[in-house]
Amino acid sequence: MPLAVFGGTFDPPHHGHLALCLFARELLAIDRLILSVSNNPFKQNRKADDVHRKCMVELLASEINRTDSCCCEVTGWELERQQPSYTVDLLRYLHIRYPADPLTLLVGEDSFREFASWKESETLLFLCDVVVFGRASAKMSGLAGLPPHAAAIKFIDFAAPVSSTEVRELAASGKSFSRLVPASVHRYITEHALYRQPLSSTSTPGLKLQES
């Protein structure tokens, strides 16, 4: 069963994330899509608590599942480790969980530009296929410093002019950001007053983190 994984900080998830997942599902004939909420050691300045980020990604998965029979699920494995997590660690975990399934890693252009500096990037290329969604210019930039077999990385032309930073800035200023995120995510952010006040004073839903 073809399986793809898309990881990220998702602080918060937005229409760009949704579009990438739907685009990948159609182009790559994915049977199962796993969204992993990361504990990225290079992105420690997260604005929403882990439990909020996971809840919002579960809403994103529901949006994806509503459009087709593709099975989209969320894993909080990286969060539950309670330590910095790297993509290569996640891929090893998924290989144990789904040993018979071919694995594809979905990567956005911004992340791919740092690919050569990722932990065990060469090993990662043997654990999965890599598909990069972004402008053509990302190819030459991202491949610099990688071994020759990295040239097999697949690139898909994709542009989504929206970022989590933009959503947070609009929410913090009290401006509308509804056009940038799925309606369910917008309601969640509004109901929990995310990005409008310090993290320590935001409400936290009474949900226990569980592995999907």
Residue range 63-96, pLDDT digits in tens: 999 987 668 999 999 999 878 889 999 999 999 9
Q: How many CB atoms within 10 Å of residue 45?
A: 6
Q: Tokens 């983190």 sit at which residue?
A: 209
- Please name the amino acid found at residue 166: E
When mean pLDDT is compared across 116-120, 125-129, 150-154, the lowest value belongs to 150-154
Residue range 126-135, pLDDT digits in tens: 999 999 998 7
Q: Please tell me the predicted confidence (pLDDT) of residue 110.
A: 84
Provide the token pair at 192. Answer: 């929990």
Q: Please tell me the predicted confidence (pLDDT) of residue 150.
A: 74
Average pLDDT value over all residues in the chain: 86
Q: Please tell me the predicted confidence (pLDDT) of residue 204.
A: 46
Nearest by Cα to 117 from 88, 139, 160, 137: 88
Per cent of the chain over pLDDT 70 is 83
In this model, does residue 208 exceed pLDDT 60?
no
Residues 6+ apart with CB under 8 A from 112: 132, 134, 138, 142
CATH 3.40.50.300 fits 3-201, yes or no: no
Q: Please tell me the predicted confidence (pLDDT) of residue 41.
A: 58
Q: At what angle do helices 50-67 and 183-191 cross, to 10 degrees?
A: 160
When mean pLDDT is compared across 20-24, 70-74, 142-146, 170-174, the lowest value belongs to 142-146
pTM exceeding 0.75: yes
Q: Report d(CA 70, CA 57) in Å as an integer.
A: 16
pLDDT-based confidence at residue 159 (cuts at 50, 70, 90): confident
Q: Please tell me the predicted confidence (pLDDT) of residue 211.
A: 32
CB 177 within 8 A of CB 15: no
Q: Report d(CA 111, CA 118) in Å as an integer.
A: 10
